[in-house]
Amino acid sequence: MKRWLTILICALAAPLFAQELESQAHFHAVDIYADSGNAPLAAYQLEFSVTNVVTKIAGIEGGQHRAFRDAPFYDPKAMQQERVIIGAFSTDVAENLPKGKTRVATIHLETFGNTRPIFQLKLQTAADSAGNKIPVTVTCEEKKIQ
Is the Cβ of residue 79 or residue 137 nearer to other proteins in the bound state? Answer: 79
State the Cα–Cα distance between residues 144 and 26, nearest whole angstrom.
Answer: 13
Q: Which of 60, 85, 123, 136 binds other proteins (CB under 8 A)?
A: 60
- Rounded CA-CA distance 146/143 in Å is 9
- Interface map 72-111 toward other proteins (x if CB under 8 A): xxx-xx-xx-------------------------x-xxx-
Question: What amino acid is encoded at 8 in this protein?
Answer: L
Stretch of 37-45, 67-75, 92-100, 120-128 lying at the interface with other proteins (CB under 8 A)? 67-75
Q: Are 114 and 22 in contact (CB under 8 A)?
A: yes
Buried b (16+ CB within 10 A) or exposed e, 115-134: ebbebbbbbeebbbbeeeeb
Is residue 38 within the footprint of other proteins (CB under 8 A)? no
Q: How many residues bind other proteins (CB under 8 A)?
A: 28
Applying CB under 8 A, which residues contact other proteins?
25, 27-29, 56-62, 69-74, 76-77, 79-80, 106, 108-110, 143, 145-146
